Amino acid sequence: MYKMIPEIGHLLIIIATSLSLLLATIPLFGLYKGNRYLISYYRPLSNMMLLAFMAAVTCLTLSFICNDFSVAYVANHSNTQLATFYKIAAVWGSHEGSMLFWVSAIAFWTALIANRKTENNEAFFVRTVSVLALVILGFSLFIIFTSNPFVRLLPNFPIEGRDLNPILQNIGLIIHPPLLFLGYVGLTVCFASSVSALLGKQFTQQQAQYMRPWAIMAWVFLTGGNAFGSWWAYNELGWGGWWFWDPVENASFIPWLVATALVHSVTMTQRLGQCKKFTLFLAILAFSLSLLGTFIVRSGVVQSVHAFAADPTRGMSILFLLVVLSGGALALFASRISYITAEDRFSPFSKNTLILLGNLLLVVAGLSVLLGSYYPIIYNVITNNTISVGAPYFNSIFVPIIFILSFLMGLAPLISWQQEKLSSLKRPLLLLFVCVALVILISVNTERTNAWFFFGLLATIWIIACTCLAMYQLLKSKTKTTQSYRFFGMCLAHFGIAIAILAGTVVSHFEQEEVLSMGPGQGRELAGYIFVFEQTQQITATSFDALQANIRIMDLDEKTVGYVYPQRQTFKTNGMQTTAASVYSTAFQDLYVSMGTKLNETEYLIRISYKPMVSWLWIGAILMMFGGFFIVLTSRYHQPTTQLKTLPSTYTLQELIS
């Protein structure tokens, strides 16, 4: 029976595509005609579409578990010796499966939105669901015609698969891609909500309230996706770096920057009715940048260890989707934005002014990273010459922007939404003076300090001090409202950002590294530790054989601190060799050792690194995620002061858009 599973999966994708076409057209036509019977189809169509996609994903998963190597995708990314949980993760481990997982996740959120209560804003939700269905339709057609995961290798198919890429056989594959896809799904919902508001020629505070949790969840998942991707590369690739400014890494980092601006902008729209146009634009921009990142990762225009595919046909198809969806949304934005009215009055000294400045800086930061990442590609296409843009460009542009953002981030919670008098800024200015004095004192008593270290430390202490003061003021007021609970979630996220800035500053400034030749009986001192290469031994695992180095770590008094066991792995299925680094971690430092190629009969290329506080980068990201989750979980939807009309049985087009 399982032999027919791929055909069933392929048929289910076709059925889901047909349902998405119906969902994208019938409810909108019902809105246009004022026909409630046609409108009512959006719920059952959403549910059936979701079931079809979930069943298709299940069919692909079963094909992996059953080792059906007649399916090309399974044959290229699995093996009979592959562990079952990696077989399941391989479903989204490469291009075809990841696209099916992505579109299925969009279908899940579409059904969730369609099945919620919409007494006061049904037209908005119907349009949102239809726009989501339109996005699903585009992705589904892309899967069917260029990226079908159920393509057969008949009549001749291998009896054994090529195996999953050894680099992907890591827990990072189980966590990192799903988080990124869920983040992109959240941005897709915000995009659909933005288009829905533009179609309705109004963007109310209530609609912003509905969009806000999706923006926060998109930000949370993108935070986790970028953080776990960084952790995965740090542990798997053997380079010991936590961020490389790789174009594919930046493909998910740029939407994160814009999503951060979107979270704050939609909050201002919800609370004050301000920045409506900017919020709608950011929602479209963030989604467009996620599609651009997808194009970069899957088109082959850049060569990266993180890239999914290198197929120009697929790349052009994604580029076509980008032009149609994003171009259409921007054209709609230009034609309908005059209907969106807002009270955009900003006092010189107020929270909303600082947030607006921060949002503009975030967009500038995103566009700066975008330029540095992809300008070499454009330059190569135009001139057929190559140029490279490396870390010095990104650091010189991005780090100063982050410092200014840190100042605004610390100050904003201390002032009110209304206009503040200059006299009310005495306490923040005094706090700033204390923070500067403290950083100067630390810098004077620290070796190897420079301007980057000074400003990074100042940004950290300033954010933490301001956030603690803001929490103290709130606790002193003894108010327990929904807004106060959300405020604590915001403070937790800001603490996470401060910790990540501190960790990045410390590890970048104080890390030490040496690449040297070592063999049994040889030792090396680095950062107050002695690394002694004791012996090598052969290790046999289920999927690979490895040459392992046993290295003892001692302090300067020659007391044993611990051991690390870096390996040079050779996978049995394809002969591919990889470096498996070994890390001795404590609360505030990592001792990172990786093993390279054999240099002579007894010596190997060994990389030894001392990385203080590097693990706090990911601890900071986890705190940021918890802060976002806390805000969403403590949110309580309340009835706005101005209620939107419910949909009557029939109504005119003029009544609908008024």
pLDDT by residue (tens digit) across 422-453?
Answer: 666 788 889 999 999 999 999 988 887 888 89
Percent of the chain predicted with pLDDT > 70: 92
Mean pLDDT, residues 164-183: 90
Axis-axis angle for helices 276-299, 312-336 (nearest 10) = 170
Q: Is residue 99 situated within a structural domain?
A: yes
Number of domains the chain is built from: 3
Give the pLDDT score at 370: 93
Q: In angstroms, what CA-CA distances link 105 with 45, 345, 380?
A: 16, 39, 36
Give the pLDDT score at 345: 73
Q: Range of 65's domain? A: 1-169
At residue 346 the predicted structure's pLDDT band, cuts being 50, 70 and 90, is confident
- Do both 151 and 163 map to the same domain? yes
- Do both 53 and 102 map to the same domain? yes
- Do both 531 and 497 map to the same domain? no
Q: Is residue 331 situated within a structural domain?
A: no
Q: Is residue 219 situated within a structural domain?
A: no
- Do both 2 and 148 map to the same domain? yes
* Count of C-beta atoms within a 10 Å radius of residue 158: 12
Q: Is residue 507 situated within a structural domain?
A: yes
At residue 480 the predicted structure's pLDDT band, cuts being 50, 70 and 90, is low
Query: 426 versus 393: which is more confidently predicted?
Result: 393
- Do both 535 and 505 map to the same domain? no
- Do both 557 and 425 map to the same domain? no
Burial of 602 (0-12, 13-18, 19+ CB in 10 A): middle
- Do both 486 and 471 map to the same domain? yes
The pTM is what? 0.92
Q: Is residue 214 situated within a structural domain?
A: no
Q: Is residue 33 situated within a structural domain?
A: yes
Does residue 652 surpass a pLDDT of 50?
no
Q: Is residue 426 situated within a structural domain?
A: yes
- Do both 428 and 541 map to the same domain? no
Tens digit of each residue's pLDDT (9 = 90 or more) over 611-626:
999 999 999 999 999 9
- Burial of 32-69, coded b for 16+ CB within 10 Å and e otherwise, reads eebbeebbebbbebbbbbbbbbbbbbbbbbebbeebbb
Q: Is residue 474 situated within a structural domain?
A: yes
- Do both 497 and 478 map to the same domain? yes
- Do both 527 and 460 map to the same domain? no
Give the pLDDT score at 296: 83
- Do both 444 and 485 map to the same domain? yes
Q: Distance between CA atoms of 509 and 610, rounded to whole angstroms?
A: 11
Among residues 467, 486, 511, the one where a domain terminates is 511
- Do both 148 and 122 map to the same domain? yes
